[in-house]
Amino acid sequence: MSCPGYVQYARLFPKQESGRAADMGTAVHKVVEQCLRDPSLMASSFEGHRVNGFVMDEELIRAATFYVNYVRGFVAGREGLFVEEKVELSWVHRDIWGTADAFFYDQDHKVLHVFDYKNGSGVFVEAEWNPQLMIYAAGVVSRVYHKIADVENTTVSMHVIQPRYDFDEPVRRFDLSLGELMLWAATTLKTAAKNTEQEGAPLVAGEQCTFCECIALCPAYEKHDRSLVLRDFEPLHPVKPEDLSPEQIAYLLEGTAWIKRYCEAVAKFAHAQATQKGIIPPRHKLVASVGNRAWDDETRALSVLSSMGVPKEKVVEVSLRSPAQVEKIAVKYGVDKTALSTLYSRPSRGLALVRETDKRPAIETGVSFSEPTKQPQKQRRYHGKRIF
């Protein structure tokens, strides 16, 4: 919605293979889908199984279990839970559709719950006024509208469940009345959809670019974030860190995110070009990608090693799980998690320099800053120049 030109521009690019993070998320989605369709099935039964190319380890199983238990808590054994169902908003625009992770209409409380599982551990996903989530929710409303007896008093509750993100609560929830949500779809969303069809629809750079497959060759993105890295420097004269002003340091720190995302996008685009169109960049080649060695059958491997005289305790690691892992297990046995607080501590790892938008509170160091006076012979003109 934030970039009207995306739809037309994306058609110019070859279809790219999904990344590792997306494939991992798909694996967890496959597990939780089966569990929610079969109330007797537990996510833990998939531990050690390979799903969508990923071994379901303890961390992924914990995330899947949290999501499944969260959704089941709202359903409470009742009928009417929809899982991985296609929803669409053709009345808004013919191309607006998607697959909702799960949704459930609670007739007793007049609440339509829309659940969205996020597997990412590095990027925080907000629920409040999240366009993607709201599109899913509006599509769900269209899907079950005929079942809603009291439209005027029905609330649409949108849930983002992100159990692998450690810097915030695992669940975010955003409630709107059904009328407010559908008004948004009929006005804001419909206008945004029409804007994508305009000739020369503009490309707009911003936070929405993070996972966009077009950023490798997007002029708007290049102009937006490259300016953060390159503004205020003389051409072909890299500046020593100690000669930078605080404002210039801020620009460069903000620009590192662009450098990383841009390089990753270029590599992904180049891989798609090479594998799908045979266009290989100079001084590069395609080779077989081989992963790390993994036991085909751990039980058999242990048996063979034992027959060879290798003690089991020498090859099998046994250790206490992390406090976060133990806490989730202990509460299932009726243990108050606050009772465990005396058993662990959080070691200090120093201070991290982050953007102001980070949710963690700022730390005052007690050190005052005054910009040093530079010698005239070392002064440089920065304004309006670039480093290369």
What is the per-residue pLDDT across 243-256, written as a single tens digit (0 to 9) for each? 888 887 887 777 67
Number of Cα atoms under 13 Å in the Cβ half of residue 270: 13
Indicate the pLDDT class of residue 226, thresholds 50, 70 and 90: low
pLDDT score for 326: 83
Q: What percent of the chain has pLDDT over 70?
A: 85
Q: What percent of the chain has pLDDT over 90?
A: 37
pLDDT score for 258: 66
C-alpha 290/C-alpha 310 separation (Å) is 28
Residues 6+ apart with CB under 8 A from 320: 326
Both tokens assigned to 285:
């080649």
Number of Cα atoms under 13 Å in the Cβ half of residue 140: 31
What is the per-residue pLDDT across 286-310, written as a single tens digit (0 to 9) for each? 887 766 777 888 888 889 888 999 8
C-alpha 46/C-alpha 26 separation (Å) is 14
pLDDT score for 6: 83
Question: DSSP characters for 42-85?
Answer: -GGGGTT-EETTEE--HHHHHHHHHHHHHHHHHHTT-S-EEEEE
Tell me which range, 14-18, 135-139, 325-329, 370-374, is most confidently predicted by mean pLDDT: 135-139
End-to-end CA distance of the chain: 33
What is the per-residue pLDDT across 180-218, written as a single tens digit (0 to 9) for each? 999 999 999 999 989 888 888 888 887 777 767 776 677
Indicate the pLDDT class of residue 368, thresholds 50, 70 and 90: low
Q: For residues 173 and 127, is the Cβ–Cβ distance under 8 A? A: yes
Give the three-state DSSP class for 29.
helix
**Angle at CA 330, nearest 5°, toward 325 and 331?**
105
Give the three-state DSSP class for 230.
helix
Q: What is the mean pLDDT of the chain?
A: 82
What stretch of H or E contains 276? helix 246-277
pLDDT score for 118: 96
pLDDT score for 388: 24
Least confident among 91-100, 262-271, 298-307: 262-271
Task: Label residue 140 exposed, middle or buried (CB < 10 Å: 0-12, 13-18, 19+).
Answer: buried
Q: For residues 244 and 232, is the Cβ–Cβ distance under 8 A? A: no
What is the per-residue pLDDT across 137-167, written as a single tens digit (0 to 9) for each? 999 999 999 989 899 999 999 999 999 987 7
What is the per-residue pLDDT across 43-91, written as a single tens digit (0 to 9) for each? 999 999 999 989 999 999 999 999 999 999 999 889 999 999 999 999 9
Indicate the pLDDT class of residue 176, thresholds 50, 70 and 90: very high
pLDDT score for 376: 40
Residue 158 DSSP code = E
Indicate the pLDDT class of residue 225, thresholds 50, 70 and 90: low
pLDDT score for 1: 74
What is the per-residue pLDDT across 8-38, written as a single tens digit (0 to 9) for each? 878 877 676 677 888 999 999 999 999 999 9
Q: Is the pLDDT of residue 284 over 50?
A: yes
Q: For residues 171 and 147, is the Cβ–Cβ distance under 8 A? A: no
Strand partners, 345: none
Indicate the pLDDT class of residue 236, thresholds 50, 70 and 90: very low
Q: At what angle do helices 246-277 and 219-230 cross, to 10 degrees?
A: 150
Q: Write down the pTM of the prediction.
A: 0.62
Q: For residues 161 and 118, is the Cβ–Cβ distance under 8 A? A: yes
Q: At what angle do helices 20-37 and 58-75 cross, to 10 degrees?
A: 40
The 10 Å Cβ neighbour count of residue 182 is: 21
C-alpha 175/C-alpha 137 separation (Å) is 11
Q: For residues 116 and 103, is the Cβ–Cβ distance under 8 A? A: no
Q: Select the more confidently predicted residue: 196 or 176.
A: 176
C-alpha 191/C-alpha 4 separation (Å) is 10
User: E strands, the chain, where?
Assistant: 50-51, 54-55, 81-88, 97-106, 111-117, 155-161, 171-177
Q: Select the more confidently predicted residue: 159 or 120.
A: 159
Task: Label residue 40 exposed, middle or buried (CB < 10 Å: 0-12, 13-18, 19+).
Answer: exposed
Alpha helices in 186-245 (DSSP H): 190-195, 219-230
